[in-house]
Amino acid sequence: MTNILKVPQILLPNQTVDRSKWATVACDQFCAEPEYWKRLENFVDGAPSTLRLVVPEIFLNGNMELKINAVHKAMNDYIKQGLLTPYEGLILVEREVSGGCKRIGLMVSFDLDAYDWRRVRVPVRATEDTLIERLPIRVEIRSKASLEFPHAILLVEDRQKEIIETLYANKDSYQKLYEFDLNMNGGKITGYAVPNPEDILQKLEALLDPSLQTSKYGDDAGILFAVGDGNHSLAAAKIWWDELKNSLTPAQRENHPARYMLAEVINIYGSGMNFQPIHRLLYNTDGEDFLKGLRHRLRGEGSLGIVTSDGIKYIEAPQDAATTIKLTQEFIEDYLKENTGVKIEYVHSAEHLNEVIAERGGMGLVMPAFPASSLFDYVVNVGNLPKKAFSIGEPEDKRYYLEAKKIVY
């Protein structure tokens, strides 16, 4: 038996559900593009959809109580209608992403007691600082929900490609659970039932062997996973579990469904692991004053792109991507404290950044790409990257809400 990982009971939409309308992109995408969500709404057109089960971040305003109640009602309605079919086991996920690559992952559930979003030594390690102000609403949604629909990705460092890639090599002998095209240019997705799930989980946890850890990191770092996506979803789940377990007996805590969260595990050395930067878009700022301060903070042999409606120009910046991201984010946060009328949005594509600025104005900062190969070393030896430091692929490549898991008895 494993200690951190558990074979989950996964709930999948049944055969009566149009899965191309059911699955929708992670809620933290297209935050500056309301048109995306309008087109998705028109496509779904009233059909059962996970669009009804989340609140996209672009809509985290207005009457939140009404929106949260609507999420819980839709969730309960779908359960009563019998739209979800249980499957107990691991799912091997094949996902087509930008450029024609296939990204391969494994759906598991993991113990939230093994995770923390702060800079502490735990087996499931955060990779970016958390936007604390985004957590209360997510916690409120989760606290009254019977199901979770996560978009979390956990990265594992399997340099020899012996676990997930070995499974994928044998996929043709597995039962196919689903295969369909994701909406809004999300690519094709296929899920396979994985045999001998306990054996696979033990192989994953064997990566915590102290001698193997020492060979990778110079000492026993005690890290199994680094969060690749869904930092805020994990943090909200952790907060809720920590609150809930205080009301439970030790026996109840042991296997409570809210203790375990569903996530997709992906090898950082696997195909389709294309780290992309997350850009910054500022509104209502005095451009010259902002750039003067940013230039003073950033010095080096590299460059940082500044986009306005007049085009793009460059200012000096450190060559190291992590340093540039860190110093830029620190300056932005200091600037926002002193200039309360300034607003910021995080945009997951340079193309989308240019489109939004052309339509709505503002100033964009074209952030550098953090290399995927450096992630584990950085997390182990330095700590968290600044918030919104990287994205796995383009916005359309993000995980879609598809699978569910019960978080109540």
Say if residue 198's pLDDT is above 80.
yes
Q: Which residue has the tokens 């916005």?
A: 395
Per-residue model confidence (pLDDT) at position 101: 93
Q: Tell me, yes or no, whether 333 and 243 share the same domain.
A: no
- 83 and 169 part of one domain: yes
Please report which residue ranges of 53-163 form alpha helices under DSSP H. Answer: 64-80, 135-143
Which residues, at least 6 apart from 238, have a Cβ–Cβ distance to it below 8 Å?
Answer: 112, 115, 116, 117
Using an 8 Å Cβ cutoff, are 194 and 90 in contact?
yes
What pLDDT is attached to residue 68? 95
Asked if 83 and 24 sit in the same domain, the reply is yes
- As a three-state string, the secondary structure of 276-299 is ECCEEEEECCCHHHHHHHHHHHCC
Give the model confidence (pLDDT) of 290-330 as tens digits.
Answer: 999 999 999 999 999 999 999 999 999 999 999 999 999 99
pLDDT at 374: 95
Alpha carbon distance 155, 145 (integer Å)? 27
C-beta neighbour count of 40 within 10 angstroms: 18
DSSP reduced 3-state for 38: helix
- Do residue 41 and residue 103 come from a single domain? yes
For residue 10, the model assigns a pLDDT of 98
- What domain range includes position 323? 278-368
Do 143 and 121 fall into the same domain?
yes
pLDDT of residue 119: 81
Q: How many domains does the chain have?
A: 2
The string of pLDDT tens digits covering residues 5-31 is 999 999 999 999 999 999 999 999 998
CA distance 225 to 375: 11
- Matching residue, tokens 């100033």: 363
Residue 57: pLDDT over 80:
yes
- Are 148 and 84 contacting, i.e. CB atoms less than 8 angstroms apart? no
Residues 6+ apart with CB under 8 A from 61: none
Q: Is residue 382 part of a domain?
A: no
Residues 167 and 297 in one domain: no
Q: Which of 102-116, 127-141, 258-272 has the lowest mean pLDDT?
A: 127-141
Residue 1's pLDDT band (cuts 50, 70, 90)? very low
Give the residues across from 116 on adjacent strands: 125
Q: Which amino acid is at 179?
A: E
Mean pLDDT within 191-218: 97
Q: Which amino acid is at 91?
A: I
On the question of pLDDT at 223 being above 70, the answer is: yes
Q: What is the pLDDT of residue 2?
A: 62
Average pLDDT over residues 137-166: 96
